[in-house]
Amino acid sequence: MVGISFIIIGLLKFISLDETEPIFEQAHYPKWFYYSVGTVEFIGGILLLMTAATSRRLGSILIGIIMLGAIVTRYLINDHYTHFILPAIIFLIAILMSFDFETKEKPSEEQ
């Protein structure tokens, strides 16, 4: 779900339908930075959908970095504290997704 969301969000930045563009302007980020964030979101979303554990881990790290940047940006523009909640939740999800929680079965001992 997170992967598909970030693929869509990344694509929306390229067709200028993303509602975060005014935030980038308010933070005085250059226009190219807006598109580079969209590219990283798109690539991170694709990596999250891949089956290899390394790809998913890299995708979650990319998404985590983007969300950390979103939190810092919200802080720099003195945004209302409620606007920190969603990026913080996604950041925590991305961190959890970067860990390998697969339980490996121990070989059974024959008696």
Alpha-carbon distance values, 50 to 3, 80, 83, 106 (Å): 9, 35, 30, 27
- Average pLDDT (14-35) is 86
Closest CA to 74 of 38, 22, 12: 22
User: How much is the pLDDT for 36?
Assistant: 93
Look up residue 93 and give its amino acid.
Answer: I
Residue pair 47/58 in contact (Cβ under 8 Å)? The answer is yes
pLDDT (0 to 100) of residue 106: 60
The mean of the pLDDT values for the chain is 86
- Rounded to 10 deg, the angle between the 85-98 and 53-76 helix axes is 160
Mean pLDDT of 46-64: 89
* Rounded average pLDDT over 71-86: 88
pLDDT range class, residue 110, cuts 50, 70, 90: low
